A = this chain, B = another copy of it.
Amino acid sequence: MDPLGSGMYDKSTATIANILSSAGALFLRKNYADVTIADIAEAAGVTKGAVYHHFANKESLYVAMMQAVLTEKQALFQAAVASPGTCRERLKRFTRTFLELPREKRDVTKLVRRDINTFKDPVRSQLILAYQSALPEQIEIILEDGVRAGELGLADVRLLSWMYVAIVEVMLTPYAERVFDNQNDQLDFVIRLFFNGAGAN
């Protein structure tokens, strides 16, 4: 609660991190409603009391978990966005940093799409904004430059970025990981499909 604090307990920050990480893993496996606070507490090695000491309720715990994962990535992503080169190179670099993340961190991004309907509108839009600014909008910036440079055809870049994310998410399925045996091939496939299409030649 006081990350800049002078000399207060930092034992709590460790348990908070534990709770958030355990919650992320559980929310990934089961739907929001099917994950109980007791589950999270048990996975984190604490009790419900500890959880409710650090988080007001289940919703805010979920939001905190999501934002923790997203903001943790943000620096990496922005580096890829700010990197030099063609649109294709930058998008490839962006996707590589994404694919090279540990699996749990990667897959959490799919949660927003899945669970978004469970939340009502204060929390709902909060989650959507956090997600969009972390992923699609970053891609949007790269694509925007691509259109300006004539590297991409004229199109709605926001829509394009969503579709690109959708394609990449298919790459996170177990089947896709079975088809390719290394991340470079995955990467090349996605980039080639997005820029050149599936058509021959």
Chain B residues with Cβ below 8 Å from A182 are none
Q: Is A6 an interface residue (CB 8 A)?
A: no
> Interface on chain A toward B: helix, strand, loop, or mixed SS?
helix
A196, closest chain B residue (CB): B197
Complex contact A199–B195 (CB within 8 A) = yes
A119-B197 Cα distance, complex, nearest whole Å = 35
Complex contact B170–A156 (CB within 8 A) = no
- Among the listed stretches A17-25, A77-85, A93-101, A157-165, which one makes contact with chain B, having 4 or more residues with CB under 8 Å of it? A157-165
Chain B residues with Cβ below 8 Å from A170 are 159, 162-163, 166
Complex contact A199–B34 (CB within 8 A) = no
Which of the four size classes fits the interface of chain A? 35 or more
A167-B117 Cα distance, complex, nearest whole Å = 20
A64-B151 Cα distance, complex, nearest whole Å = 48
Complex contact A29–B117 (CB within 8 A) = yes
A201-B154 Cα distance, complex, nearest whole Å = 10
Q: Is A68 an interface residue (CB 8 A)?
A: no
Q: Known pairs A32-B33, A152-B199, A193-B197. 5 more at Cβ < 8 A? A: A29-B117, A31-B118, A33-B33, A159-B176, A163-B167
Q: Which residues of A contact B (CB under 8 A)?
A: 29-34, 88, 113-115, 117-118, 143, 150-153, 155-156, 158-160, 162-163, 166-167, 169-170, 173, 175-176, 179, 189, 192-201
